[in-house]
Structure 1
Amino acid sequence: MTTSNREPMPELPNAEHVPAEELVRRQGAQPIDSVAAMARPDLFETDEELDEFLAEIYAARRADV
């Protein structure tokens, strides 16, 4: 036998549902033509800075293991 003491979910504010397609239209988003369009070669100034960033990401992913 199971019981539940859960309270009902609170009502969300009256926000209109907007389909994703409409949000894209409103924001003027355009499709990405290629992966190269997303490249940011100047994101890290040095290879060492990139290595430090990657080390922090790997450590964070392993922190809960």
Structure 2
Amino acid sequence: MLSRPSFVSDEAITREVAAHWLPEITGYARWFAAPHTGTEDDHTVLEGLYEALAADAE
């Protein structure tokens, strides 16, 4: 039987991801799942996604 990685059982990290990161990424996914034509708003949202991912990587 495979053991679960320790980070999976860390409830504090799981709650933090669920409360902060997941809703933000879900918002970006909804935006980009909808039809868009490369407007200024599309570029602004994409830049926001890049910034969010860079901040979480630090």
TM-score, normalised to structure 1's length? 0.30
Radius of gyration: which is bigger?
1
TM-score, normalised to structure 2's length? 0.32
Greater share of helix:
2
